[in-house]
Chain A
Amino acid sequence: MTAPGAGPPQMRGLVPDAPPRAGGGDVLVHRAVPYGWPRELALTAVPYLEAGWSAGDAVVVIASEPVRVMLRERLGARVREAIEFIDAADWFGGPMRALAGYHDRMRADWWPRGRLRLLAEPVWDGLTPLETLEWQRHESLLNVVFAGTPTMIMCAYDAVALPPPVLTAMARTHPELAGPDGPRPSPEYTDPAEFYAECNAGALPPPPPTAAHRPFGAGGLPSLRGFLTAEAARLGLPEARTLPFVLAVNEVATLIIRAGGGRGSAALWAGEGELVCEVADPGRMLADRFLGYSPPPPGPSPSGQAGQAGQGGQGTDGAMWAVRRLCHIVQIRSGADGTRIRMHVRLDHG
């Protein structure tokens, strides 16, 4: 593979389609490109990728095989070889998995080479309503968690095949829309905090009557872990996936003991293709403003005081980041009657 970053740094900002710079700092550019047919996508995506190569950006394509093949056919050999192509099916296994993957690769591989220029084709097939909602939240969150970073993301949406609600959310979660005629602001773009609050607005249905329950408090976590392990096995969670599940639930219970109301309860049940555990803290509200969506600093803070930084503080945020990484989806609902954190892990695959 040709070494990426071929373009000299001084070309940045001069090439067509270059990212805008605010006060010389890094600015996130996040655009959706709704397209009617593959050629229309190519008209937008190919110049975008070529401009990235010219500017010396790290250029990455995460897409389905047909889109990757189509782009490879239209890109020049040198540009093609400099681009990292990733299979969307591998990358978009879950919204948090994808977000953590971005964080890991951006820090380790992409940002060190300069600006990241990404073409992503999110997967909307075969999702549950909850997964669809969380993927839409993911699109909105990108505007927050990568704000001020040297990142350009263009998200490809098949405007013919995708259902209208997905396209509506696309317009609300991308500040700009791209097309062959260039980018334009998205009139429907919604502030991410507002969008996030909307995602949290729906009440969680109560656990089913079949759910197994276990209260916990200080000193009682070994017993809670034993309960979780036994129930997970009974409900069909493969042994290899039991450890991350138990780590996640234990972490939430620890937060409640240390920084929450001091005691709580766990409810566990199997849903459609998933194992669900809801941990309830009747005694405390939890401020959830993008909680657990930004990774903690690379080096740990001293004294092992995780979870003691107060609600929504650094310790809670770092713990919830780990909890989200260990699960498929995590839902948080908090109000005057306390906090419920519902963790979903897949029974079937990754």
Chain B
Amino acid sequence: MAVGHPAAVGGMRFGDHFFLAYDNGAERYAVLAAYLRAGLRAGHALVHLADGESAEAVRDRLRALFAADAPDLLAAVNDGRVAVPEAAGRPAAEVIASAAGPDRSAGVRVSVEASPSSRGWPGSAGFAAFEDAVGRAVAAAGDAMALCQFDRQWFGAGRLDALEACHGGRAGADAVFDDGVLRIDPLFAPPGLRLSGSIDESTLPGLLAALRGLDDRAAHVCLDLAGVEFCDLAGLRALVGVNEWSIVPDRLVVLRSAPRCVEMMMRASGWEGAPGIVHEGVR
């Protein structure tokens, strides 16, 4: 896994050509939906590229992705606000320019579906050349950004790093909470949350909202606590009581890399043996 935090997709700017290596559909959905919604709000022209396939097939895949939880994005695909051009064999800059149309005064957001099936096996010259062309097009346009999405399962060790090098940075899902004291990022494989900072009376409402927002159908949930610098009793109670909001019987809650402050509060409160809680001691 690549080291360091990716940039939040919500913070992308014109000129960015970012890379998303996703673990599963949930992660891709979260990042792509945030990216497209930000574009709809800003009035950007939205272009979704997937070469080597018919545009209708690509549109169908997008419809399937958004059908369950994103009626706004489904509508945007259906009414053409998310443009899906026929891209095969044409230069990336030309495809983007023509798909964005004449009215691109607010700028252009490009989404690139980088599945190996459409462009040959990763590592091939064509694959990298396409990325380079997208990068050049974004850089030259001045009012465009691109988010290239790669399914992590398709790539061997080292290949993702090489692909990332074709981009200006990595994108990830937006934090679900960040007030400068506590930051909460979503995790997708396994599903859960990564917490960084301090959990106290001021950040507890944000933590509770994030915990309630977890997919309550997941069979297990991972709470990565490696970045937690402080945790009070109410925060700990929220973490070990997270199953209160689950409809899954006997859901497993994995506390990953609990720092010393969490372990100490766990001992002091006597909740070390709370049912359904597994401590994964990484450090």
* Residues of A that sit less than 8 Å from B by CB: 103-104, 218-219, 221-222, 225, 243-244, 246-247, 250-251, 254, 257-258, 295-296, 298-307, 318-319, 321-322, 325-326
Contacts and interface: CB of A to CB of B under 8 A. Distances in A.
Contacts of B264: 243-244, 247, 326
B230 A322 contact: no
A218 B181 CA distance: 14
24 contacts: A218-B201, A222-B198, A222-B202, A225-B198, A243-B264, A244-B264, A244-B268, A246-B230, A250-B200, A250-B230, A254-B233, A296-B269, A296-B271, A298-B271, A298-B274, A300-B237, A300-B240, A301-B241, A302-B244, A303-B208, A304-B204, A304-B207, A304-B238, A321-B268
Given A244-B264, A247-B268, A251-B232, A301 B237 contact: yes
Nearest to B243: A302
Interface residues of B, number: 31
Contacts of B200: 221-222, 250, 254
Nearest to A302: B244
Contacts of B241: 299-304
Give the interface SS of chain B, mostly helix, strand, loop or mixed: helix
B234 A307 contact: yes
Contacts of A295: 270
A319 B267 CA distance: 13
A250 B271 contact: no
B269 A322 contact: yes
B208 A254 contact: no
B115 to A, nearest CB: 42
Contacts of B202: 218-219, 221-222
B260 interface: yes
A275 to B, nearest CB: 17
Contacts of A254: 200-201, 232-234
A134 B273 CA distance: 29
A247 B274 contact: no
- Among B204, B233, B271, find the residue whose CB has the most chain A CB atoms closer than 10 A: B233
B237 to A, nearest CB: 4
Contacts of B208: 303-304
Contacts of A322: 233, 265, 268-269
Given A304-B208, A304-B235, 12 more contacts: A221-B201, A246-B230, A247-B265, A254-B201, A254-B232, A257-B201, A299-B241, A299-B274, A300-B237, A305-B237, A306-B232, A322-B269
A304 B202 CA distance: 13
A225 B230 contact: yes
B263 to A, nearest CB: 10
A139 B270 CA distance: 22
B275 A250 contact: no
Interface in B235-283: 235-238, 240-241, 244, 260-261, 264-265, 267-271, 273-275
Contacts of A318: 233, 269
B270 A319 contact: no
A299 B233 contact: no
Contacts of A301: 237, 241
Contacts of A246: 230
B234 A299 contact: no
Contacts of A257: 201
A326 B264 CA distance: 9
B261 A243 contact: yes
A218 to B, nearest CB: 7
Nearest to B244: A302
B274 A319 contact: no
